Structure formats: C-alpha cells, structure tokens
Chains A and B, each alone.
Chain A
Amino acid sequence: MLEKRTFLWYILGFGIFLFAWYFIAKIVHLPIIPSPFLVMDNLGDIFMKYIAVHGFYSLGRMIAGLVLAVIVGVPVGMSMGYFPSLDRILAPLVYLTYPIPKIALLPILMLLCGLGEVSKILMIFLIIVFQVIISVRDGVKSIPKETYYPLYSLGASFWDVFREILLAASMPKFLTSIRVAMATSISVLFFTETFGTQYGMGYFIMDAWLRVNYLEMYSGIVVLSVIGLILFGIIDILDKKICHWQYK
C-alpha cells in the first residue's frame, strides 16, 4: 500500500518535471531548449541505432571503477576501523589526500596510463574509493565495544567477527557513501569521456553539441541521467534488501 503510494508520488514528480521542461521550452522558444516530447521522439528513433553502444561504454566504465573502489576500499576501511594502530598510520594519509579534487589529477593520469580506458576507470575509482574507505571505517568504529564481547568470549576468529559483525555493521554507511559518490563520479565520467575516446555518453553529448544537433544532445543527456538513476535505484534496492533491519 505504502509502496504504491510512494510510486505514485514519483510519477507525479516526473510529470511536474516534464511539464516544467515543456513550459520553459515554450517560453524561451529557442533550438537550444527543445520540447521534451521532441527529445523523446528523437530518443526513440536513435537509441538502438546510435546511443545504446555509448551508454554501455559509460555504464561499463562506471561499474568497473565502482567495483575496483569496493574491492580496495572496503578491506582498507574495515581494517582501519577495526585495528586502531593501522588507523593511526593510514588516517593522515587518507585525510590529506581526500580533499584533493581528483579530477585535477586527470591530466597526470592520462599521461601515466594513456588516453584509453585505464585512466577513465581509475578516475572514477579515485572519486569513490576515499568515500568508501572513510565511511566503512567510521561504520566499524561506531560499533559499541560490547557488541564484540559475546563473540570474543566464545573464542571467535577474526573471520567470525568479520562475517557476523563488521560486514553488516558497516553496510548502511557503505551504501550511503556509494550513493553520494555516484553523483560526482557520473559528472567526472562525462568529463573524462570528452578526451581520447569515441565511445561513451560524454563523447556522444559533446559530439552532438559540436554538430549543433541539439535533439541528439538532449537525448544523450537523458540517457546519461537514466544511467545515473538506474545505478541509484539499484543501490536503493540493495539498501532495502540488505539493511532492512535498520528500518524496523
């Protein structure tokens, strides 16, 4: 019942958004802001023909960067949270590098790793990994000491503690961090795809723009947004599935 109502609110939100877009397009009446219906029409025509392949490239890079960030970030963050001595050594390093705008490192990455896939994926990895490390670490640190005691007194191994406590306890903060980092990393992905590639939504959008084909450009923007929305939605569903205990 509640789910259905939430869904209706989203439909309404989407309707309002479309209407606002349509309204602005009508008032401004310039080719740079086409009506959403023209864009949808165009999207229907060219999606399978031109856009899909770019979409898959972008999605692939996004997921590769994300997976890499999780593989590195979760163990590092967890160890930092669980072993105070390790935290003392690594925390300054993480804190000093965290505020560096990673996108500014793109030229260096491109020189070191080439213009191809590696530098793009690494860029996304860099954006996400710090958020993951910090939030997983804080998630583990916020577990009350008493939570461990019943396990310790039974001679639990580190593996037991990891499986029964650390993983679940850090999961909500971990998913939140991914959710936050995702938005930034999609923007960054767009930027990296304007260099050294002929595939990806970034390339497609900028290419359409250069060809002054605004309908195609908007179609690209819509697809990129939908990619973001899908990833966002997947994380939300994961959150509801894995961390349902915290909504009780």
Chain B
Amino acid sequence: MIEIKDLSVIYQSSDETYTALKNIQLALPTGGTCAIIGPSGCGKSTLLKVMAGIITDFTGTIEIEGQAVSPKRQKIGFIPQNYGLLPWKNVYENICLGVKIKHKHAKLERNTVEFIMQQLGIDGLGNRYPGELSGGQQQRVSLARAFLLKPDVLLMDEPFSALDAITREEIQDLFLQVWKKHAVSTVLVTHYVEEAVYLGQKIVILSTKPGRVSKIIDNPLFGEPDIRTKREFFELSLQLRNFIKEDWSIC
C-alpha cells in the first residue's frame, strides 16, 4: 500500500510562495498501477518527485507499506521523461546501473539481465550506446533497468509521450505484458487520457493552481484484452475527457 496523506508542497522563492500541491490524499494498493492525469503545471511531476524522495521539502506524509518514503530504505525505480539513460554507458551497463547503485556488492547474473532484455525485445543491443538507439528502444532500456531492480514502487514521468503514436501503443502493450509478470506497484504521470485508461488501474485526475486531486476512478476496463478497440474504452475516455474539460476550465 502506498499512502499519501495531507501532502502539500510549497515552493518558496525570494519574493513569492507558490503552492504546487495542496492537500493530496491518495491510497494505492500494492502491485497495482495508477495513472495520474493533469494539465501542464498542475504539479504532476512534483508529486512524482516527492514520491521518489527527490523533493524532501513537503508537509504531510507518504508511506510505502507503512514506512515513510526514503530512497535509502525503499527501492524506488524512477523513469524520467527523457528515460534517464546515461549516454556514456552502453545498454547493458545502463540496465545494470540501478542494481549496482542499490546493492553495492550484489553480483548480477548475466542470464537474469539477458532474460529481462529478451522480455523487452532489446536482446542483442547490449553493446550499443543510447545515442545509437531510437526513442522506443531507449524507453525499453529504461524499462528493463526498472524491472531488473524489482522496485517497491516504479514511478514514470510521462514515459511514452516522446514516442510516435504507433511506437507508443507498442510500448504500452509491452509495458503491460512485462508488468503483469513482475507485478510492480507503478505510478505513471501522463497527459493522454487514453494512456491513463489503458494503463491505469486507478486513474487520478489532478486540477491546477494549486494541484489538487479532483477525481479518483477505479478503472473497470484495466487488464481486459484488446480494450483499445472496444466501445467501452472510447466511452470512458470521452467521459473522462469531458470531465477534465469542465474541471480544468474552472481554474
């Protein structure tokens, strides 16, 4: 269980204070996925960074399995928008980096790494460098890194938004497929309604100025096969879209 209570984040600059997030309450079951949708500047990324332990200046509590969030204590996988691959490390080294940082002395079995690479369809790319890969391949590498780590929670900041439409759907499918095998609690931030409906067991809608939770939906369609082509998928997406339009235009 990931539990967020009364979370507020206030940025203090020299002459003004800016409330990025106000009074966020959220409970996410272990082993589920949660998609957060919000307009730009609503503090989605801030929320994710707080959960990742990158931003520590906040009020309220965030607990994972009853323990306050701390990068030292928990295993937190974070995939930033640009995938966070290090251009000076080849694919193999990039994938192992997470484990290398978290478990200093653990010996990584080459087989384990190669198995994950196979699952994500990047076997054979181990010696390439990120600069030689397409956006989709880079995303696969960052997912491989995250899944190899077996994190307590996986946080993704608009993970698929830089990909073209076809590749995006492909990777979304792949993500779900691999996610099902590893059952990692996942929180992803997005601004595509369809992505949220496709990937989120729970869908959280944030509104802006200041960032608040305006709606939480338990997604009835999650995990059903081929939902992208079903009528319910379009209906739910449309419904959400209409809600969002109204919600965001108020602020």
Q: Spell out A's residues near B (CB within 8 Å).
A: 144, 146-147, 149-156, 160, 164-165, 168-169, 171, 243, 245-246, 248
B88 touches A150 (CB 8 A): no
Q: Is B29 an interface residue (CB 8 A)?
A: no
- The A contact surface, by secondary structure, is helix
- With a CB–CB cut-off of 8 A, which chain B residues contact A164? 86, 89, 97, 101
Shortest beta-carbon distance, A82 to chain B, in Å?
Answer: 15
Of all A-B residue pairs in the complex, the 7 with the closest CB atoms, nearest first, are: A155-B71, A146-B80, A153-B78, A168-B88, A153-B52, A155-B72, A150-B84
A153 touches B97 (CB 8 A): no
* Distance in angstroms between the alpha carbons of A146 and B79 in the assembled complex: 9
A149 touches B78 (CB 8 A): yes
A153 touches B77 (CB 8 A): yes
- With a CB–CB cut-off of 8 A, which chain B residues contact A171? 88
A149 touches B54 (CB 8 A): yes
B131 touches A246 (CB 8 A): yes
Given known contacts A146-B80, A146-B81, A245-B129, is B102 in contact with A152 (CB within 8 Å)?
no
Q: Spell out B's residues near A (CB within 8 Å).
A: 49, 52-54, 70-73, 75-82, 84, 86-90, 97-98, 101-102, 128-129, 131-132, 145, 149, 155
Of A144, A154, A245, the contact of B88 (CB 8 Å cutoff): A245
B73, B86, B132, most chain A CB atoms within 10 A: B86
CB-CB nearest in chain A for B149: A154
Interface contacts beyond A152-B53, A168-B86: sample of 12 additional A-B pairs, CB < 8 Å, sorted by A: A146-B82, A147-B84, A151-B97, A152-B71, A152-B78, A154-B75, A155-B70, A156-B101, A164-B101, A168-B88, A245-B89, A246-B131
* Distance in angstroms between the alpha carbons of A171 and B88 in the assembled complex: 10
* Distance in angstroms between the alpha carbons of A153 and B153 in the assembled complex: 11
Given known contacts A146-B80, A146-B82, A168-B86, is B70 in contact with A153 (CB within 8 Å)?
no
* Distance in angstroms between the alpha carbons of A152 and B49 in the assembled complex: 10
CB-CB nearest in chain A for B55: A152
* Distance in angstroms between the alpha carbons of A165 and B155 in the assembled complex: 21
B102 touches A154 (CB 8 A): yes
Of B78, B87, B145, the contact of A246 (CB 8 Å cutoff): B87
* Distance in angstroms between the alpha carbons of A136 and B155 in the assembled complex: 31
* Distance in angstroms between the alpha carbons of A246 and B87 in the assembled complex: 8
B71 touches A153 (CB 8 A): yes
B84 touches A152 (CB 8 A): no
